[in-house]
Amino acid sequence: MWQNVPMTTPKTDSGKEASEQRAATQLRQVADGFDLDGLEQRARATVQHLQQTICAAIERIDTGATFRLDSWQRQGGGGGLAGILSDGNVFEKAGVNTSVVHGELSKEMQSALPGDGESFFATGVSLVLHPNNPYVPTTHANFRFLRRGRTAWFGGGADLTPYYPFVEDAAHFHRELAQACDRFDPRFYPRFKAWCDDYFYLRHRQETRGVGGIFFDYLQADDPQVMPFWEAAGQAFLPAYLPIVERRKDQPFGDRQRRFQLYRRGRYVEFNLLYDRGTVFGLRTDGRVESILMSLPPLVRWDYDVHPEPGSEEALLSDFLRPRDYLREVAGS
């Protein structure tokens, strides 16, 4: 069986926290005359269209289930649309949610959020896909826009969490995201990949959540290339993920692989409840709890004192739970 031991080299969070603080403090108010209201509307339309596109693509590849769409309202202002697919042929659970929320910030959130004043606006699409087959990786993506006063910014990203990893799958996922980044700035991909590796790190387990992807936040809203990049990153998600699903969804598996998948899902739950910024923001701004926690898998295990047998398929995962340059590895092979 498996032992619950550190799988990578210990690391601190000081670099991550410093990087995020720098990015947040570099935000400024948008330029005079900039149409921030128009940008809000465009961002709202983008996340709604992305939800529709992703839900339709997931239904096509799954063939066994469709999304339940659940509209909700937030007491303080705004609401959203939760899309949940359950017990499909390919996906055990898939959640693709949008929200458009606004209102007054609590004193706690006023001290935590950049900008000025008590009012805020936020819209975004957030998704987590939990497959049935352990050889298909779980994935997460989020693309969001936030405004407080005349300060506004974009954030988001996508990451991949395999249970039985393949270098070629990780490289494909990174390649599609890198191409979206490179269309705008060759510095984006290395910067946002490193940010992703730092962000999706479980310090109490001393391992990354998976093989990473990209993560970005606090991108200045009135920078002319930021919103087009944000839209392109969202559009890159399906080409990055679906070919991996097609490649792995029919691979045979048994009870051993299923048990390991459920055990590793525990790490996913731990990250989302302990560290995830979206979870914290949603709960602290009185968001809809069912939508916020839709990212959690339907089944999970926490087995005591387990470790992969040396040389087993399960033991291979440990070498992927650290930052790696998959594009260079594949290019050099």
Q: Which whole number is the average pLDDT over 235-248?
A: 98
Share of the chain above pLDDT 90, in %: 80
Q: Which whole number is the average pLDDT over 228-241?
A: 98
Which carries the bigger pLDDT value, residue 63 or residue 2? 63
Predicted confidence (pLDDT) per residue in 169-180, tens digit: 999 999 999 999
DSSP category for residue 31: P
- Write the single-letter amino acid at 271: F
- Write the single-letter amino acid at 293: L
pLDDT value of residue 281: 77
DSSP category for residue 18: H
Indicate if the pLDDT at residue 287 is higher than 70.
yes
Q: Which whole number is the average pLDDT over 265-269?
A: 94
Predicted confidence (pLDDT) per residue in 108-165, tens digit: 888 888 999 999 999 999 999 999 999 999 999 999 999 999 999 999 999 999 999 9
pTM, 2 dp: 0.92
Q: Which whole number is the average pLDDT over 280-298?
A: 82
pLDDT value of residue 5: 31
Radius of gyration of the chain (CA): 19
- H or E element, residue 194: helix 188-199
pLDDT value of residue 12: 46
Indicate if the pLDDT at residue 10 is higher than 80.
no
Tokens encoding 313 = 């398929």
| Residue 286 CA: distances (Å) to CA of 77, 79, 157, 277, 282 | 10, 11, 23, 14, 6
Q: Which whole number is the average pLDDT over 204-229?
A: 97
Q: Tell me the CATH architecture of domain 14-331.
A: 3-Layer(aba) Sandwich (3.40)
| Residue 221 CA: distances (Å) to CA of 27, 38, 43, 119, 242 | 9, 12, 11, 17, 30
Share of the chain above pLDDT 70, in %: 93
Contact 174, 160 (CB under 8 A): no
pLDDT value of residue 317: 97
pLDDT value of residue 20: 65
Which carries the bigger pLDDT value, residue 227 or residue 105? 227
pLDDT value of residue 19: 62
pLDDT band at 15; cut points 50, 70, 90: low
pLDDT band at 332; cut points 50, 70, 90: confident
Q: Which whole number is the average pLDDT over 230-247?
A: 98
Which residues are catalytic, by number? 140
